[in-house]
A and B are shown apart, each in its own frame.
Chain A
Amino acid sequence: MAQLPVELILVRQLAHGLAVPTFVVDAAGDLVFVNEAAEALLGLDFEDVGQVSFADWTTAFASRTKGRQRADPATHPLAVAIRQRTPVHGPLRIVGRDGVLRSLVVTALPLEGSRGQLLGGLAMFWEPPTR
Chain B
Amino acid sequence: MKIRLWGTRGSLASSGPETAGYGGNTAAVEIVSADGTILVLDAGTGIRRLGAAIDPSVERLDILLTHLHMDHIQGLGFFAPFFRPSGEIHIWGPASATMELRTRLTRYLSPPLFPVRIRDLDARVVLHDAPEEPVSIGGFEVVAQHVIHPGPTVGYRISADGASVAYLPDHEPALGARRFPEEPRWTSGFDLASGVDLLIHDGQYSDDERATRIGWGHSSVSEAVAFAELTRVRRLILFHHDPSHSDAVLDALTEVARAGGTSIEVVAGREGAQYDLGTGVHA
Do A and B come from the same complex?
yes
- How distant is the Cα of A30 from the Cα of B188 in the complex, in angstroms? 20
Identify the interface centre among A1, A6, A7, A12: most chain B CB within 10 Å of its CB.
A6
B185 touches A6 (CB 8 A): no
B187 touches A3 (CB 8 A): yes
Whether, in the assembled complex, B108 has its beta carbon less than 8 Å from a beta carbon of chain A, the answer is: no
- When A10-B148, A12-B176, A13-B176 are in contact, do A3 and B185 touch as well, CB less than 8 Å? yes
Whether, in the assembled complex, B237 has its beta carbon less than 8 Å from a beta carbon of chain A, the answer is: no
- How distant is the Cα of A12 from the Cα of B184 in the complex, in angstroms? 14
- When A7-B146, A10-B148, A114-B97 are in contact, do A2 and B185 touch as well, CB less than 8 Å? yes
Using Cβ atoms and an 8 Å threshold, which residues of chain A touch B95?
114-115
A13 touches B185 (CB 8 A): no
> Which residue of A is nearest B192, CB measured?
A3
Binary interface profile of B, 171-206, with partner A (CB < 8 Å = 1, else 0)? 000011110000011111111000000000000000
- When A13-B175, A114-B95, A114-B96 are in contact, do A6 and B186 touch as well, CB less than 8 Å? no
Q: Which secondary structure characterizes the binding site on chain A?
A: loop
- A109 to B: closest C-beta gap in Å: 15
A9 touches B188 (CB 8 A): yes
How many chain A residues sit at the interface, stated as a range, is 10 to 19
Whether, in the assembled complex, A128 has its beta carbon less than 8 Å from a beta carbon of chain B, the answer is: no
- B121 to A: closest C-beta gap in Å: 26
Whether, in the assembled complex, B147 has its beta carbon less than 8 Å from a beta carbon of chain A, the answer is: yes
> Which residue of A is nearest B175, CB measured?
A13
- B98 to A: closest C-beta gap in Å: 9
- A24 to B: closest C-beta gap in Å: 11
- How distant is the Cα of A114 from the Cα of B146 in the complex, in angstroms? 10
**Residues on A facing B (Cβ under 8 Å):** 1-7, 9-10, 12-13, 16, 113-116
Beyond A13-B177, A115-B129, 6 additional pairs, beta carbon < 8 A: A6-B148, A6-B188, A9-B176, A9-B186, A9-B188, A115-B97
Q: List 17 A-B contacts (CB under 8 A).
A: A1-B184, A1-B185, A2-B191, A3-B185, A3-B186, A3-B189, A3-B191, A6-B176, A9-B176, A12-B176, A16-B178, A114-B94, A114-B96, A114-B146, A115-B95, A115-B97, A115-B132
**Residues on B facing A (Cβ under 8 Å):** 94-97, 129, 132, 145-148, 152, 175-178, 184-191
